[in-house]
C-alpha cells in the first residue's frame, strides 16, 4: 500500500484528492494547520474522515514538516495548503508570502533532506498568468497581479528549481479556477450559488458583487484532482495547465445560477466597489493541450452542469435552513 501525504486536507481539493487516493488503496495522511477547532466538514461530507490519518502540520515550521515526513514515510506528497484567497492577500501580503511562497521552500527542503525520492506535487494557479494575454499555456510568460499570485509564482519556480537542481520528481499543476459543491462561501462562485439558494427560500434578498466582467476558465474540482494524481504517475516530472479551454464572465455565472433557480438575477444583484481588487485580472483561459496529449486528461463537466450542481447542493442547504432556522451541519 502506497502512502500519500496531503497538505490542506480539509479544503475542497484536499478532500476530493483524499477520496480519490483512498479509492486507489492508498494510505492517506492528511496534514492540517492546528487551530482551536479543526473543521473536517468536507471530509465528513464525503464520508472519509475515519479513513484518513490526520496530523497537525505547519508550513512555517521546517522541523515539524521534517518530523511529519519521517513518521509518515510517504511515496507522494501533494502540497495543497496555502493562504488561498486573492482578496485577503492584499490585506495580508507578508503572511501570504510566508505561507504560500516560502512555506513551499521549507517543504521541498524537508523532503530533500528526508527522502529526495518522494514524488512531489505543487498546487500552482492560473492567477500567476494575471495580465498575460489569453489563451495561456505552459509557455506563456507569467504576470502576477496580487500578492497571492506572486507568492504562488515563487513557489512554482522553486519547484522547478528543485526538480532541475536535485533531480527530484517535482511537478506543478497550473490549475485554472475549479469549483464544486464543497467550495467555500469565501469564493465568488459559491457566494453566488449560496445566495441564489437563500434568495429562492426567502432567507435573503440581495447579492452584492464586485467586477461582473472578469472572465475565468471554470472547471469541476473533482475532475481536476485526478490530473494531480496522473502527474505523479508519469515517469518524468513536468508542469501542466489544467483547464477547460472555455472562459465565462462572472456575469455569465450569475445568470446561469439564477436561471437554474428560476429567478431573475437583475432583481437581486448589485455591484459594490468594496469587492473590487486593487489590481484586476481580466481574462483567464487555459490551453489544456499538453495535459490531453501527455496525461490523457480532459474535462468532462460543462460550465452549465457545474453551476447546476452547485445550485442544487445549496438549494438543499437553504431548504434545511428555512425549515429548521439554522444551517445544516453537513456540506452536501
The count of other CB atoms within 10 Å of the CB of residue 264 is 10
**φ, ψ for residue 263 (rounded to 5)?**
-125, 155
Distance, in Å, from the CA atom of 62 to the CA atom of 274, rounded to the nearest integer, reads 37
pLDDT of the residue at 84: 80
Which of 16, 26, 121, 148 is labelled catalytic? 148
Strand partners, 178: 219
C-alpha to C-alpha distance for 90 and 279, rounded to whole angstroms: 10
Backbone angles phi, psi at 142, to 5 degrees: -80, 150
φ, ψ at 85 (rounded to 5°): -100, 120
3-class secondary-structure state, position 9: coil
- Provide Rg for the chain, Cα atoms: 19
Which pLDDT score, from 0 to 100, does residue 20 have?
98
Phi, psi dihedrals of residue 305, rounded to the nearest 5°: -70, -40
Task: Tell me, yes or no, if 301 is annotated catalytic.
Answer: no
pLDDT in tens, 129-171: 999 999 999 999 999 999 999 999 999 999 999 999 999 999 9
Phi, psi values for residue 285, rounded to 5°? -145, 115
How far, in Å, CA of 278 to CA of 227, rounded?
Answer: 32
Using pLDDT thresholds of 50, 70 and 90, give the confidence band for residue 106.
very high
Residue 36: band (very low, low, confident or very high) from pLDDT cuts 50, 70, 90: low
pLDDT by residue (tens digit) across 54-74? 999 999 999 999 999 999 999
The closest of 65, 72, 70, 74 to 105, measured between CA atoms, is 65
Phi, psi at 207, each rounded to 5°: -125, 120
Q: Which of 7, 10, 114, 127 is catalytic?
A: 127
Place of cell 483561459: 285
Q: Which one of the listed residues 125, 158, 193, 301 is annotated catalytic?
A: 125
Give the position of cell 473536517: 40
Buried/exposed code over 155-179 (b: 16+ C-beta within 10 A; e: otherwise): bbebbbebbeeeebbbbbbbbbbbb
**In angstroms, how far is the first alpha carbon of the chain from the final one?**
30
Domains of the chain: 3-178+219-242 (3.40.50.720), 183-217+246-284+301-324 (3.90.25.10)
Residue 62: name the closest of 19, 103, 16 by CA.
103
- Cα–Cα dist 12/9, whole Å: 8
* Confidence at 331, pLDDT banded by 50, 70, 90: low
Residue 148 falls in the annotated catalytic set:
yes
b/e 299-311 (16+ beta carbons within 10 angstroms → b): bebebeebbbbbb
- Position 260 confidence tier, pLDDT thresholds 50, 70, 90: very high
Confidence of residue 258 (pLDDT cuts 50, 70, 90): very high
Amino acid at each position: 500500500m502506497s502512502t500519500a501525504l496531503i497538505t490542506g486536507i480539509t479544503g475542497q481539493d484536499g478532500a476530493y484528492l483524499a477520496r480519490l487516493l483512498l479509492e486507489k488503496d492508498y494510505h492517506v495522511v492528511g496534514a492540517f494547520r492546528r487551530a482551536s477547532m479543526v473543521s473536517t466538514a468536507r471530509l465528513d461530507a464525503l464520508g472519509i474522515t475515519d479513513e484518513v490519518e490526520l496530523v497537525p502540520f505547519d508550513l512555517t515550521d521546517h522541523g515539524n514538516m521534517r518530523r511529519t515526513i519521517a513518521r509518515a514515510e510517504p511515496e507522494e506528497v501533494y502540497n495543497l495548503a496555502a493562504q488561498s484567497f486573492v482578496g485577503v492577500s492584499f490585506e495580508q501580503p507578508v503572511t501570504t508570502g510566508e505561507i504560500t511562497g516560502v512555506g513551499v521552500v521549507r517543504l521541498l527542503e524537508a523532503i530533500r533532506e528526508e527522502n529526495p525520492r518522494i514524488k512531489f506535487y505543487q498546487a500552482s494557479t492560473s492567477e500567476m498568468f494575471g495580465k498575460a494575454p489569453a489563451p495561456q499555456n505552459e509557455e506563456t510568460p507569467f504576470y502576477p497581479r496580487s500578492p497571492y499570485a506572486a507568492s504562488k509564482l515563487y513557489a512554482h519556480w522553486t519547484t522547478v528549481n528543485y526538480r532541475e537542481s536535485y533531480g527530484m520528481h517535482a511537478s506543478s499543476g497550473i490549475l485554472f479556477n475549479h469549483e464544486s459543491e464543497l467550495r467555500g462561501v469565501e469564493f465568488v462562485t459559491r457566494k453566488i450559488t449560496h445566495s441564489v439558494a437563500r434568495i429562492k427560500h426567502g432567507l435573503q434578498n440581495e447579492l452584492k458583487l464586485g467586477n461582473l466582467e472578469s472572465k475565468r476558465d471554470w472547471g469541476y474540482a473533482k475532475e481536476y484532482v485526478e490530473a494531480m494524481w496522473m502527474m505523479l504517475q508519469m515517469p518524468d516530472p513536468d508542469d501542466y495547465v489544467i483547464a477547460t479551454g472555455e472562459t465565462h464572465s462572472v456575469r455569465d455565472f450569475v445568470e446561469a445560477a439564477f436561471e437554474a433557480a428560476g429567478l431573475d438575477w437583475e432583481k437581486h444583484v448589485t455591484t459594490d466597489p468594496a469587492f473590487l481588487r486593487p489590481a484586476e485580472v481580466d481574462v483567464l483561459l487555459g490551453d489544456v493541450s499538453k495535459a490531453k496529449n501527455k496525461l490523457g486528461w480532459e474535462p468532462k463537466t460543462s460550465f452549465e452542469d457545474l453551476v447546476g450542481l452547485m445550485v442544487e447542493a445549496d438549494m438543499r442547504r437553504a431548504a434545511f435552513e428555512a425549515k429548521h432556522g439554522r444551517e445544516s451541519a453537513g456540506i452536501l
